[in-house]
Amino acid sequence: MLGLFSKYVYLGAAQRRLFQHGPAILTYHRIGKAPPGAPDPFLYDTARELDAHLTRAQEAGLKLVSLGEAVHQGNLRQGCLAVTFDDGCVSVLQEALPVLQKHKVRAIQFIVSGRIGGLNDWDLSKNDVPERLMDKEQIRDWLAAGMEIGSHSHSHRNLRKLKSSEAREEIFGSKARLEDVFGVAIHHFAFPYGGWRRSEVRDLVKQSGYESAVTTAFGVGSASADLTREAGYQSACTADFGVSMDGAELWSLRRITPLTGPELVHKVFHRLMRKVRGL
Ligand SMILES: [Zn+2]
C-alpha cells in the first residue's frame, strides 16, 4: 500500500533526480500477496501496487518504454521507465498482464531456460515457498500479448561461483535455447544473484550478443559512465543519492525496487534480522 512517506521514497525528489541520469528500470518477481511464512515478502507486489507504481511514474512525467528502448543502441535514455520481472512466474502472466496492457507498457520477463514449466527450485532449497513458472504455452501467450522475454540463465546459479565453461553455458546456452524454442531474438539478460560482479562473466554476456544485462544492484544505469569509459577511465563513480554508479554500463545495469516509506523501513529491518539469524 502507498503509505504516508511514499512520496519521499518511490519517485520522491531524490529518485526523480536519480532518474535524470539514466533509465529507471523497475524490478519485480511475483505478483500477489506474500503467503504467510514467505521468507522474503519483498519478492511480492500485488497487481494494485503495480498499477499504482505505473500511474505515479506517468504522473511524474516518466515515459513508459520497453527495456530495449531504454538502452537503445547503447544510449541509456533518461526520463523513462522500463518494467522487468525476474524468474518467469505464472502469477505475472495472470495478474500483471492486464495492468501492463492498461498502461500500454511492453514489459520483459526473464526466463530461466532450464526451468520452463517448473518451479523455483533454487529458492526451495532455502525454505522458500514454491512458485509456478510459466510453461511453453504460457510464455507464448505472454509474447502474443505484446510482451518480451529475456534470459535469466539456464539454471539460476550464481555465475560468480561457476567455472568459466559452466558460466559460458548458462549465458550462451540459455539464449540459444530460448531463441530456438520461441523463435524470437533474445536481446537482454538478467543476472541471478550477484554474478555480474565478476568481470569475466560480464564479458561473456557481452560476447554472446546480448544488448544489455540487468543486475539486482540499486540505482540507474548512467550514460555518463559509458562516456567516461570511452574517455579511457576504467570506471566512474558518483555520489548522487549515495548510490555508486561504478560499472554502470550496458552489461551491468542497475534497477529499482519500487518501495513506499513503510515498506523500505520494514525491508531494512527484515534483512537485518535475517543477517542476525544467519540466514
Ligand atoms: Zn531470479
Under 8 Å between Cβ of 261 and 9: yes
| 239 Rama class: left (phi>0) / alpha (psi -120 to 50) / beta | alpha
CA 156 – ligand 1 centroid, Å = 6
By C-alpha distance, which of 175, 260, 169 is closest to 213? 175
Residue 260, in any domain of the structure: yes
- Interval between CA 231 and ligand 1 midpoint (Å): 34
- Give the residue carrying C-alpha cell 509474447: 143
Q: How many distinct structural domains can be found in the chain?
A: 1
All residues with CB under 5 Å from ion ligand 1 = 86-87, 192
CB-based burial label for 108 (10 Å; 0-12, 13-18, 19+): buried
Domain that holds residue 262: 6-276
Looking up residue 30, the CATH number of its domain turns out to be: 3.20.20.370
Helix, strand counts (H, E) of the chain? 12, 10
What pLDDT is stored for residue 136 in this prediction? Answer: 98
Per the domain annotation, does 43 fall within a domain?
Answer: yes
**The pLDDT value given to residue 228:** 42
* C-alpha cell read off for 224: 555518463
Instruction: Using the mean position of ligand 1's atoms as its centre, give its distance from the Cα of residue 64 in Å.
Output: 23
Residue 94 lies in a domain: yes
User: 1 lies in a domain?
Assistant: no
> Which pLDDT value is given to residue 276?
72
- Interval between CA 147 and ligand 1 midpoint (Å): 19
Instruction: Report the separation in Å between the CA atom of 152 and the middle of ligand 1, taken as the mean of its atom positions.
Output: 7
Q: Ligand 1: distance of its center to the CA of 27 in Å?
A: 11
Residue 157 lies in a domain: yes
CA distance 178 to 201: 20
Could you tell me the mean pLDDT of each successive run of 10 residues in the chain, 279 residues long?
Answer: 53 78 89 88 92 92 93 82 96 98 97 97 87 97 98 95 94 97 96 85 91 80 50 40 46 78 71 69
CA of 31 to the centre of ligand 1 (A): 14
Q: Which DSSP helix (H) or strand (E) runs through 139?
A: helix 136-144
Instruction: Report the separation in Å between the CA atom of 233 and the middle of ligand 1, taken as the mean of its atom positions.
Output: 31
Res 145: pLDDT? 98
Q: Which residues of 162-179 are buried (b: 16+ CB within 10 A; e: fewer)?
A: beeeebbbbbbbbbebbe
